[in-house]
Each structure stands twice: as structure tokens, then as C-alpha cells.
Amino acid sequence: MTSDNNRTEELRKIKEEVLNLKKSPLYKERVKNKVFPVIGEGDHYAKIMFIGEAPGKNEAMTGRPFCGASGKVLDKLLASIKLDRKDVYITNIVKDRPPNNRDPLPEEIEFYAPFLDRQISIIKPEVIATLGRFSMQYIMERLGLADKLKSISQLHGQSFEADTDYGKVQIVPLYHPATALYGQDISVLKKDFKILKKVIA
């Protein structure tokens, strides 16, 4: 458990560790492409934490999560429920970009997941919104909801209660914002976002 007055320091430690993560299966890619890991950003006291799967090209170039085209979609979705990006916390399971934006491999998720677990324990969100199937699967399995797992097309926009080391949390699986760039109707995503508004009301 982390006391409230040292959240920033604890998150800074995670950043330093990831920056020096030479054992990472993706570290060579980072060095070769002269890019950055993406740790996370936002309010360290956020009620809602958004968790994607891995950084894309724009994210790796800047070190910021969701700063490309899918980030613009995420900003629109946040605005649709009158939430500002600075009031939430946004991160990914995998902190370095997989080559050619491929899906993260199981061993990559396993390697980076302990950093995410620590981020959750430090920030203590009331709601964890998973963006895409990889973060949905990891979080639901990690927090004892494996028996509720189905495809994201069946679970998106629902809310599940889980226990953490700091108390209860609501898990809300959501489609990844990038799906709106590849044909998914953004109105579906906006409807799902309304559940976030309800669970923190």
C-alpha cells in the first residue's frame, strides 16, 4: 500500500525502472528506433484509470500515451461524458512499442504487467476502464474475474466489481478507441462511455 503523500514519488520510481529496463524483450527495439517507453500520464488521484495494450508509433516517439489518432478519439469520448483528460490516468500494460504495431506477445504482457499492478496500487482508481481485449483479459484475470471472461464484443460497456489491495473497484471493458478508425461506429463507444459516468456518479 502507498500513502497518499508519496504517489508522485512512487510513480517516478516506476518510470526510472522502465527507462532502465534492459532485460525487456522490447528494449532493443526502443534503442534501435530511438524512441521512448510510455509509462502513463494524468491525475495521480484519478477516479478512472484507462488501460490500453501497448504504445503505437506516435506514443513511442513522444513518450505519451494515446497521443495519435486513437488518442483524438479517446479525447472525444472523454468530452462526450464531460471528463477532461487531465482528470483521468492513462497507461498501457506493455510500456514499449512492439515492432510494426503488432499485438503484444504473452511474454511481453507478463514482463511489463508488474509495473501496471504497481500503478494501480498507487493511484487506487475507483474504476478501471480497459481499452481493447488484451487489457480486458489481463485485468479480469488478475482481479479474479476470469470466470466472467468472454469476447470483448460480448462484454464491452458492462461493469464488474472486483477486489484489490485497496478495496473495491469497478472494471469496465471498452473497445479500443482505434476501432473507431477502422469502421466501428463511434456512437457505440460513446454509449459505452456513459457507464463510466454512472459508476463514478
Query: In this predicted structure, what is the pLDDT of residue 4?
Result: 59
Residue 2 has pLDDT above 60, yes or no: no
The Cα–Cα gap between 178 and 14 comes to 27
Q: Averaged over 84-109, what is the pLDDT?
A: 95
**Tens digits of residue pLDDT in 142-198:** 999 999 999 999 999 999 999 999 999 999 999 999 998 887 789 999 999 999 988
User: pLDDT tens-digit profile of 98-154?
Assistant: 998 899 999 999 999 999 999 999 999 999 999 999 999 999 999 999 999 999 999
For 15-60, the pLDDT digits (tens) are 999 999 999 999 999 999 999 999 999 999 999 999 999 999 999 9
197: Cβ–Cβ under 8 A, 6 or more apart, which residues? 81, 82, 83
Q: Which string of b and e fits 96-135 if b means at least 16 CB within 10 Å?
A: bbbeeeeebeeebbebbeebbbbbbebbbbebbbbbbbbb
Q: Which of 181, 126, 125, 178 is closest to 152 using CA atoms?
A: 178
pLDDT at 101: 85
- Report which of 13, 31, 50 is spatially closest to residue 96, judged by C-alpha positions: 31
Give 187: exposed, middle or buried? Use CB within 10 Å, 0-12, 13-18, 19+. exposed
Write the CB contacts of 153 (distance below 8 Å, at least 6 apart in sequence): none
CB atoms within 10 A of CB 172: 24
Q: Model confidence at 3, in pLDDT bands (50, 70, 90)?
A: low
Q: Could you give the domains of the chain? A: 4-199 (3.40.470.10)
- Is 127 in contact with 196 (CB distance < 8 Å)? yes
Q: How far apart are CA 74 and CA 175, in angstroms?
A: 11
Instruction: Name the pTM for this structure.
Output: 0.95
66 torsion bin: left (phi>0), alpha (psi -120 to 50), beta (else): left
Q: Amino acid identity, residue 113?
A: A
Q: Which residues of 17-54 are buried (b: 16+ CB within 10 A; e: fewer)?
A: ebeebeebbbeebbeeeebbbbbbbbbbebbbbbbbbb
**29 three-state secondary structure:** helix
N residues, the chain: 201
The pLDDT value given to residue 199: 85
